Homo-oligomer: A and B are copies of this chain.
Amino acid sequence: MQYCNRCGSNVSLAIPAGDTLPRHVCQSCGHIHYENPRLVVCCAAEWEGKILLCRRAIEPRHGYWTLPGGFMENGETTAQAAMRETQEEAGADVEVQAPFAMVNIPHINQVHLFYRGQLRSPAFAAGDESLEVRLVAPADIPWNDLAFRSVAFCLERYLADRETARYGFHETNLRPL
Q: Tell me the A residues contacting B by CB distance below 8 Å.
A: 1-8, 11, 18, 20-21, 24, 33-39, 71-80, 88, 98-99, 102, 104, 106-107, 109, 111, 128-129, 168-169, 171, 173
Contact = CB atoms under 8 A, between A and B. Distances in A.
A36 B109 CA distance: 13
Number of copies of this chain that the complex holds: 2
The 3 nearest A-B residue pairs measured at CB: A169-B169, A3-B8, A77-B104
18 contacts: A2-B5, A2-B8, A3-B4, A5-B33, A18-B128, A20-B88, A21-B73, A36-B39, A37-B72, A37-B76, A72-B111, A74-B106, A77-B173, A78-B104, A78-B111, A99-B102, A99-B169, A169-B169
Contacts of A2: 5-8
Given A39-B111, A128-B18, A169-B99, A75 B106 contact: yes
B72 A36 contact: yes
